Chain A
Amino acid sequence: MKEVRLEPEEMSEKKLEKTCPTCFEVPIGPIHPALKEGIRFTFWVEGEKIKKVDIRPGFMHRGIEFMGTKRNLVQLIYLAERICGICSVSHPLALVQAVEEAAGIEVPPRAQYIRVIIGELERIHSHLLWAGVAAHELGFDTLLHYVWKVREPVLDLLEDITGNRIDYAIPIYGGVRRDIPPEKYPKLKDALRYYRSLVDDFVNFFLRDPSIEARTRDVGILTREEADVLCAVGPTARASGLRKDVRQDWPYFTYPDLEVKALTPEDMGLEVRGDVYDRIVVRLLEVVQSIQIIERCLEEMPEGEITSVPKVAALLAQLKKAEGEGIGRHEAPRGEVIHYIRLEADKEAPVVWKVKAPTYSNFMPWFPMFEDQEIADIPIVAASIDPCICCMERVYLVRGEREEVVWKEELLRLSREKTKRVASRLARHAPWGRKG
């Protein structure tokens, strides 16, 4: 296994100057046409080859978690929806699972099916959006325009079902806010048939196109071991041959009945190489998988209630009494999203709300991917994990001018110090500490 090294001295510029005197620095970002959001890559390149990379996030921090603790739990859903414009149902789905676990709310089966259908429709539109962006990063604008054009029907469908193209406002604690009436089924089935008929085109345009293959094969390789060690999630992990999918490993909603399997390029009869091409393959396979899931959901969906607590006032009252903590996980199009919530009785707002977006896990795999690539590969490798920087940002320095990077050892030392401090305070103040 290739050792993944991210030690402070490895990154130091001084050492690089010694080993590579002809290297020069190419900053990409925070504002750059290859990036859709602000993040700064600093590349040290020799000619066209990348020798080292440093990545600095922190430009897009919005303090959403803090804002969440100032709102009641129903308002929180709509805030969670706005964490990410593309995974706009994934974050609420993870949040409602967390709150339902904390407050012990049951969800009727029909609502679970509807959640799955909306989640999978979102996966289709997100993967299509990604495919367009990837084509644009490769300078293939024709494909961008084509893919985004065929993405429109699924957005129209979502608007028809939920009332909105992007932020659907569908999940609520205990169920969903809107039913999918049987008269809408034909429309859904038509759309699914349409996307099924497009799959061959996608295979031709993306996987058999010589210029795309030339730009993506053996580019941005993430080996299986690296993906495992660096905790890659979602299509990024699966393209490296890691069969990892929340829907398979920790099934929720109706996924246990649907027997969802994590897909890797092997499922298309290809050898796993863990490059950008494989990431295209996996996303394409997942579009097909989502179509199958929705079709099965439409067949198996039972009649019944769509929420266990239909009145919002009653729901809020019940949530106000709730006390406890919960974790919600959902396989978003980009990978696993986790929400942690802590509720206290007589408080409308959550005490703690922690969000982990998939890009947070897929951030570290960027380092091995960029190793020894060329400048021309930067946009497509950066885009290949389908990054969502805003969703990922956690910290930004607002006071003081001193910026410093805290490494793993330092973090460990700081956390041990804090544990000691807390322990000693407990020893002084806690009732069991006063004995002596």
Chain B
Amino acid sequence: MSGLNALWQAILVLVGGGAIGFLYKGLDRKLAARLQGRIGPPLRQPVLDVVKLLLKENVVPRTAVPWLFQAAPFLAFVAAVTALLYLPVGSLSPVLHSYGDLVLLLYLLAIPALAMAVGGFASGSPYAVVGAQREIVMMMSYEFPLAIAAVGIAWRLSTLGIGPSFSLATIAANPLWGLVGPLGWIGLFLLFVALLVVTPAELSKIPFDIPEAETEIAGGLLVEYSGVNLALFYLADVIKTLVIAGLVVALFIPYGIAAPLGIAGIGGKILDILFFLVKLFAVIFVAVTVIRVAFARLKVDQVAKLYLLPTTLISLAGLLLLVLDKVVMGG
């Protein structure tokens, strides 16, 4: 019975998530265009793009390793979609909350990037190989701050005796901001900043779109992909954007508005979901849209320096402050 229930929920989340993902992608493109002084494409443009790609021929280059080349986009898509099911929506628990936790989500988030790198290496194009190398270097740079931010929060929760602390549902239900002292507050803020900086890198958006870098390596990882395969990568990107933003919201701004307003029941749940969508949009707008119109593309060594040093240091400082806070507050 609960299995069937979970299935229905999963379908609802996937369809809803897909629709919201397309909407936000369209909004991102439209708003970026407005910020650049352009008119921009219509909101439904991402949908049109995917439909067109699905109708196009799927070309596998002669130099590629066919099965690996074909498997990579599928893997990326499945991983992104699965990650969506681990996301708490508003005050609702994640669909798969009993089957995994934050650590699994971090791994699922790493898979689309890895799949793209594998697909790039398998496509046999020098551009894609360069792109894949860059993707791997990028991952080594941004995964560490991301992990620190996630683990830091979960650890602090566990020291407060709230559990299971690695469950995203628990983290979302117990905002840390109110539970820690001033030191922990600063620490949390630093982690929040680190995660916001990591977000565009995780999504390969300017200034961190170096694995694709249109003017340098002509689309890099994706250069040989076409048709359905490219559409799958596109969909994976759309969903992954939602998941990353959702992770930021769940970790740092999980507040609902239904409880403070005193609205209970179905109405409150719907209100919370809507508020959650607004928060998602705010994170995407700040961390993706604004940043990608405000910067030039960086070089891969500059990204590694920017991440391995400052962002890692910021997140480590945040973690240290959380530890100090535990010592001061006595946990």
Contacts and interface: CB of A to CB of B under 8 A. Distances in A.
A193 B264 CA distance: 63
Contact of A145 (B36, B209, B214): B36
B298 A26 contact: no
Given A142-B36, A146-B37, A214-B302, A34 B296 contact: no
B36 A136 contact: no
Nearest to B130: A375
Contact of B301 (A48, A145, A149, A212): A48
Nearest to B35: A142
Interface in A12-27: 24-27
A376 B300 contact: yes
Interface string A125-147: 00000000001111111110110
A34 B300 contact: no
Interface string B278-301: 000000000000000111111111
Given A27-B126, A149-B37, A211-B295, A378 B216 contact: yes
A47 B299 CA distance: 13
A393 to B, nearest CB: 23
Contacts of B203: none
B130 A135 contact: no
B207 interface: yes
Given A33-B218, A145-B38, A375-B216, A139 B206 contact: yes
Nearest to B210: A376
A32 to B, nearest CB: 6
Interface residues of B, number: 31
Given A141-B36, A376-B213, A25 B126 contact: yes
A153 interface: no
Given A48-B300, A149-B37, A215-B298, A139 B209 contact: yes
B35 to A, nearest CB: 7
Contacts of B206: 139-140
A140 B295 contact: yes
B217 interface: yes
Nearest to B305: A214
Interface string A42-73: 00010110000000000000000000000000
A26 B297 contact: no
A39 to B, nearest CB: 15
A214 B129 CA distance: 25
A98 B281 CA distance: 63
Q: Report the interface size class on chain A.
A: 20 to 34
A209 interface: yes
Nearest to A374: B299
A138 B296 contact: yes
A211 B298 contact: yes
Interface in B246-295: 293-295
Contacts of B129: 24
A138 B299 CA distance: 10
Nearest to A382: B215
A328 B328 CA distance: 82
A397 B145 CA distance: 56
Contacts of A138: 215, 296-297
Given A32-B218, A375-B217, A212 B296 contact: yes
Nearest to B207: A211
Nearest to A138: B296
Given A25-B126, A145-B38, A211-B207, A33 B214 contact: yes
B133 interface: yes
A81 interface: no
A100 interface: no
Interface string A201-223: 00000000101101100000000
Interface of A: 24-27, 32-34, 45, 47-48, 135-143, 145-146, 149, 209, 211-212, 214-215, 374-379
Given A47-B133, A138-B296, 12 more contacts: A26-B126, A27-B126, A45-B130, A48-B134, A139-B214, A142-B36, A143-B296, A209-B296, A211-B207, A215-B297, A377-B299, A379-B216
8 contacts: A47-B133, A137-B215, A139-B206, A142-B35, A143-B296, A215-B296, A215-B299, A376-B213
9 closest A-B pairs by CB: A139-B297, A140-B296, A211-B296, A138-B296, A376-B299, A145-B36, A379-B215, A142-B293, A34-B215
